[in-house]
Structure 1
Amino acid sequence: MNESPANQDPELLRRLLRAKDRMDAASHEEWPVERLAEVSGVSEAHFARSFRQAFGTPPHRYLLTRRIERAMALLRDTDLPVTTIAFDTGWTSLGTFGRTFRDITGDSPSVSRRRARAAGHEFSRVPVCIVGAIQRPILATAVSEKRRQAIHDKNEPQQQEIPRCKVLR
């Protein structure tokens, strides 16, 4: 069970990458494990287990990351309404989109849009790939666990220093 990606079968990794590429290309679509396993040509249980071993995250969480990344880019770069962005990025409920977005990023979509536009000039000299990596939502922790941590943090306030990215020149 502790098999590292380097020890996995190269053919299996190619199959998993095929499914991952499909999710990347169409993150707005529904991608249940059954569909991903079919794309990969393996059983559902084997797919879910192998995907997590290979990429360090379960397939559903990976898809959430892609959807939130796309939503963050649309909020930053377009004037589309939040509702349109939610549905264009694959969410079927505006409430679920808003709650998940807030749980992952810490801000509502509207606040995130204002903050991204205000900070836009800060990243103007940094390569787009670096900015994307910095702004990528981290889903290593389940949303429910983040909620528990937030409740715990409210009960025991602590000073935390938030790391800031410096502009590369």
Structure 2
Amino acid sequence: MLSQLIDHGFDLKRLTPPRSGMNLHCMAVSAGYEQRRNEHYSWDGMKRGTAPFLVLQHTTFGEGILEYAGVRHKLTPGKTMLVTMPHDHHYFLDRGGHWEYFWMVISGREAMRLALEILSHAGPVLTLSESEIDRLVATTLACLTTPSVSPGQAASLGYAALTTLHDAAFRAHAHSAQTHPPAIDRVITYVEDNLASELHVDRLAGLAGMSRAHFVRSFTAAVGTPPSTYVLERRIARAERLLLATEMSVVDIAAMTGFADGNYFAKVFRRVRNTAPLAHRATRFEAA
């Protein structure tokens, strides 16, 4: 598929579907295939307006740079960047550099929800498999070559791109989970998918088909930590990513990660990470 995009050549297009009588919330807005060579190319995620949207950009040749949450990422061939706007990040071409990539802009509240889940799990730079790259290329080509895009097509293209990134983001977890016994695998998958819900040990033991005592022993032996500690670690890790990757309030992050309220979340976060949630968020402004 990538060869077809190369044959198509450098191009960019803004999609302008006609107004629809029904609101769709994951809409491809524009797409392109570009190269930057020895020129000024720089985007500040806080200077692209106030309306929320996301950008995904896949490197095919050369190298770009992304500075995100205090970390400097090299966007080399095969790397896919996902960022939301507005957000404090910066991506650019180093002086004298060469960067070739294809990209899509997608908007809508469902698009943002999917993007934030991907970011909270995998961060802003993903490594796609060959088949996943083909899917992303096909979506970009469809944006560039479809003469007149309908609202439904724009939504379908937006979903196609984001579900490709979703598969890439959660593939690594699926593979790693297979190293555990099937019963423990089921519990780990359930925890990852339900961090906002109550995750009592008795409930998890039931999912594993074990008594509470046998489950605690089996889980601890397989994973290396008791189930209650594992759940807390996963909640705090998810909360950390949401603090850095989004502008969500502490109250909303608490709700998304299974804490009773914002005050309790802040207390637990401070105890576990030795810093307040908003102080942790402020670290993204620090230099790499």
- TM beyond 0.5: yes
Structure 1 residue 52 corresponds to structure 2 residue 220: yes
1:80 aligns with 2:248: yes
Cα distance between partner residues in 1 of 2:274 and 2:201 = 28
The secondary structure found in structure 2 opposite 1:84 is helix
Match of 2:269 among 101, 111, 114: 101
- The CA deviation at 1:80 is 1.0
CA drift of 1:44 comes to: 1.1
Identity of aligned residues (%): 37
User: Following the alignment from structure 1 to structure 2, what is the Cα–Cα distance between the partners of residues 31 and 83?
Assistant: 19
SS across alignment from 1:112: helix
Aligned to 1:151: none
SS of 2:197's equivalent in the other structure is: coil
Q: Structure 1 regions of 5+ residues with no counterpart?
A: 1-11, 123-169
Moved over 6 A (4+): none
Counterpart-to-counterpart distance in 2, 1:87 and 1:33: 20
Give the distance between the partners of 2:249 and 2:194, measured in 1 at CA: 21
Cα distance in structure 2, aligned partners of 1:68 and 1:86: 10
Please tell me whether residue 118 in structure 1 is matched to residue 282 in structure 2. Answer: no
TM-score, normalised to structure 1's length? 0.61
Matches of 1:84 and 1:27, distance apart in 2: 13
> Would you say 1:24 and 2:199 are equivalent positions?
no
Contact conserved, 2:251 with 2:261, CA < 8 A, in 1?
A: no
TM-score under structure 2 normalisation? 0.36
If you compute each CA radius of gyration, which structure gives the higher value, 1 or 2?
A: 2
1:13 maps onto 2:181 in alignment: yes
- CA-to-partner distance for each residue in 1:39-81, whole Å, 9 max, x for gaps? 1111111001111111111111101111111111111011111
Residue 93 of structure 1 deviates from its aligned partner by 2.5
Letter in 1 for 2:220: R
Q: One-letter code of the match for 1:104?
A: V
Q: What CA distance in whole angstroms lies between the structure 2 residues aligned with 1:20 and 1:33?
A: 12
Q: Distance in 2 between matches of 1:71 and 1:19?
A: 20
Distance in 1 (CA, whole Å) between partners of 2:187 and 2:247 is 32
Residue type matched to 2:205 in 1?
Answer: A
User: What is the CA-CA distance between 1:94 and the residue it aligns to?
Assistant: 2.0
| Cα separation, 2, equivalents of 1:113 and 1:96 | 17
Residues 208 and 215 of structure 2 are in contact (CA less than 8 Å); yes or no, is this contact kept in structure 1?
A: yes
**Aligned equivalents of 1:13, 1:45: Cα separation in 2:** 17
Distance 1:67 1:24 in 2: 9
Consecutive unaligned residues of structure 2, counting only runs of 5 or more, are 1-179
